[in-house]
Chains A and B, each alone.
Chain A
Amino acid sequence: MNWRQAVAAGVLAVGCAQAVAAPPSPRPGSGEELTGTQCVACHTADYIVMNSVFLTSAQWQAEVSRMRTVFGASMDDSTAAAIAAYLAAHYAVAAAP
């Protein structure tokens, strides 16, 4: 079967453009661009904001690692480290004492 694939946002925008607000943009900072290209290639930044209120910087690092090892995100070590650092700086909570 040779389905034409459409990125969901494109398909879903048909007929409902007014109802669907733009997804959140990554917060400004070093690593923002890499996050925009690497993470947002597969999912909107909704996922980042949604989990930002409770993930610590160590947990963000684990999430980035999981995206590579389980879900096939093809980024090198330095890119992964830059993204984890960006998420830690802009979307993490402090670890419990």
Chain B
Amino acid sequence: MRRRAVIAGAGSAMLATQAGAAESTRIPADLPDGTQAIAEFADLPGKRRLLRLTGRPPNYASPIDVFTEAVTPNDRFYIRYHLPGVPSDGDMDNWSLSIGGDAVTHPNRLKLSDLLDMPSNEVLAVCQSAGNRRGFIDPHVAGVQWTDGGMGCAVWRGPALRDVLKAAGVTSGALEVWFGGNAEPPGVATPPYRKSLPMDKAMDGDTIVAIAMNNAPLPLLNGYPARLVVPGWAGDYWMKHLTAIEVSQSPLNTVWMREVCRVPSGLFAAERPFPSQAAGTTVPVTGLPVNSVIAEPLDGDEVTRYGFDIKGVAWDRGAGINRVEVSLDGGRTWQDALLDRPLGPYAYRRFILQTGPLHPGPFRLLSRATSLTGDKQPVRFKANPGGYNNNVPHPISVTVT
């Protein structure tokens, strides 16, 4: 029997957080073995109890239990750096943003106060690393072994990029917008982290230069004082500590565009392709594939035979979530979960399934989401050498007692 409903208005109280809900303090049982050996919960400045995967560059995952909520608090929001250089607050005292490139007529330099004076946009959007869930891929793919915690959803506020570029005068020959952020530490030969966007995505009104996150300044480790926000696209484009923007007539040629974060052409449907960066048989990772995560119960939990709640979130590249199904038997049978009201196309959409009474024993829980355009989480991983875009439903093992 189909049991699906959209909870709206007062009905959403059903999904409201229970005050004082317990935070898990154990290392997740579903971390890969090598990662089990090194992962630890750690506090950092402005951050509380994140799961450290690597210390330098800092890669810290949000614990899964935060994903019972549609908005990830700043102090629980994950941290992802590609390079070992992390600026300090003091480095940003004289922060400015340069606007230039061969496709603008009036290069200029903006201060934080200039950004504050511009019309402001606000978007609730998921920031998710392209390599999120790499750690669940079988066989394993080398790289940071993220499980579910390489993502978060926040309210980002700041001027639209197109407004930031307005005074510079973008010419008709513009092909891409290039972004630069945190400089590199001395002695590290790795090329600077630079990314670009095609013009249509760059000029979309929801692509913003965020100077606030959840109504507070950005945490240092999430890109203070300003970061690019590219709703629906992988977090790898969301340049932190943004300092330089160039509008260019040519494609950006860096290893960060040409060598990493790429997938075989045609493997993933692209709502908005990136033709100037297509090369050979590969294309850059762009839009997020439809995905969902169970945040409660946690892998390894014991749950009651009288019935329990299965809660989590679903998201995609911006089409919106239409349906989330949950399985209690490892994918043999599925039931529709209840969906919370949509909070915007780029936001998490919460779901809940209340089980009936169950016989004691082991259960394998799964969730799978379908978007409003009909995209559905696949049964098998679309294998690619970088281990990107893993959106295969991930089993959560629990024991009913």
Contact = CB atoms under 8 A, between A and B. Distances in A.
A70 B58 CA distance: 20
| Interface of chain A: mostly helix, strand, loop or mixed | loop
Contact of A7 (B84, B96, B243): B84
A4 B90 contact: yes
B128 interface: no
A44 to B, nearest CB: 5
A11 B144 contact: no
Interface in A7-27: 7-9, 11-12, 14-16, 19-21, 23-24
B54 interface: yes
6 contacts: A8-B86, A24-B38, A46-B55, A52-B34, A70-B260, A73-B189
A30 interface: no
Contacts of B144: 47, 50
Interface of B: 32-35, 37-38, 40, 42-45, 52-58, 81, 83-88, 90-91, 94-96, 139-140, 142-145, 182-191, 243-244, 255, 259-260
B54 A44 contact: yes
A54 B139 contact: yes
Given A6-B87, A24-B38, A70-B260, A44 B186 contact: no
Q: Which secondary structure dominates chain B's binding surface?
A: loop
A15 B36 CA distance: 25
A49 B184 contact: no
A41 B94 CA distance: 29
Given A49-B34, A53-B140, A70-B260, A12 B45 contact: yes
A78 to B, nearest CB: 18
A61 B87 CA distance: 32
Nearest to B42: A19
Interface of A: 1, 3-9, 11-12, 14-16, 19-21, 23-24, 41-44, 46-47, 49-55, 59, 63, 70-74
A72 B285 CA distance: 22
B385 to A, nearest CB: 10
B34 A8 contact: no
Contacts of A47: 54, 144
A43 B45 contact: no
A11 B88 contact: yes
B45 A14 contact: yes
Given A19-B43, A46-B38, 8 more contacts: A1-B94, A1-B243, A4-B88, A7-B85, A44-B55, A51-B140, A52-B34, A73-B189
Contacts of B88: 4, 6, 11
B191 A7 contact: no
Contact of B142 (A7, A42, A63, A74): A63
B140 A6 contact: no
A12 B86 contact: yes
